[in-house]
Amino acid sequence: MEEVLEELREESRQGTPVLVEGLHDREALLSLGVEGKIVHLNGGRNLLSLLEALEGNARAIVLTDFDQEGEELALKCSRHLRAMGVEPLLDPRERLKRLLRREVKDVEGMARFLLHLGAVGGKE
């Protein structure tokens, strides 16, 4: 788990944007030490304009929730990012989903779960 989070932290430090569903997911990642550009997709702008603003990036991490709605959103984002020449990174989401299984269904819950367990070294 810590390995996946460290990869997220490093990618983010290098300027790779991280896409999450909501503001609470963004805050959750910040609490886990993931800094840099974190874009919440439910931020009032339409999805396509948010994604178009990422044009020019080599890649973007898609870290939507682990439920069916998050799955559909991840696929939609991936298609649009690829069409713009941005490589969508889905591996961190898939690895976290596998590791957390039924324990957690969203990014916000993942942070609460991990911080409660003391399983990760987030920000103080």
Return the pLDDT at 45: 75
Tokens at residue 2, please? Answer: 């810590």
Percent of the chain scored above 90 by pLDDT?
74
**pLDDT by residue (tens digit) across 5-62?**
999 999 999 999 999 999 999 999 999 999 899 999 986 779 999 999 999 999 999 9
Q: Output 100 or 29, whichever has higher pLDDT.
A: 29
Q: Where are the domains of the chain?
A: 2-116
The mean pLDDT of 103-123, rounded to a whole number, is 76
Residues 103 and 109: their CA atoms lie apart, in Å, by: 9
Tokens at residue 112, please? Answer: 């609460």
Residue with the two structure tokens 């991936």: 78
Q: 118, 2 in Cβ contact below 8 A?
A: no
2-116: CATH topology is Dna Topoisomerase Vi A Subunit; Chain: A, domain 2 (3.40.1360)
| H/E stretch holding 62 | strand 59-62
Return the pLDDT at 116: 78
Does 70 have pLDDT greater than 50?
A: yes
